[in-house]
Amino acid sequence: MLHYAVVFLIIALIAGVLGFGGIAGTSAWIAKICFIVFLVFALLSFLKRK
């Protein structure tokens, strides 16, 4: 999940530099959602081990 967040963040940065605002905003939003899902899964995994 973290891999997808990084990929979408890179896509957002490249699209922003090239002037594609809609694609950059959407990619940044997807990256943020993927990162939040990763954090939730990591926290659940950590709590499950204890």
* pLDDT reported for residue 47: 93
pLDDT in tens, 34-45: 999 999 999 999
pLDDT tens for residues 6-22?
998 899 999 999 999 89
Q: Token pair for residue 47?
A: 């709590």
Torsion of CA 47, 3, 6, 2, to 10 degrees: -10
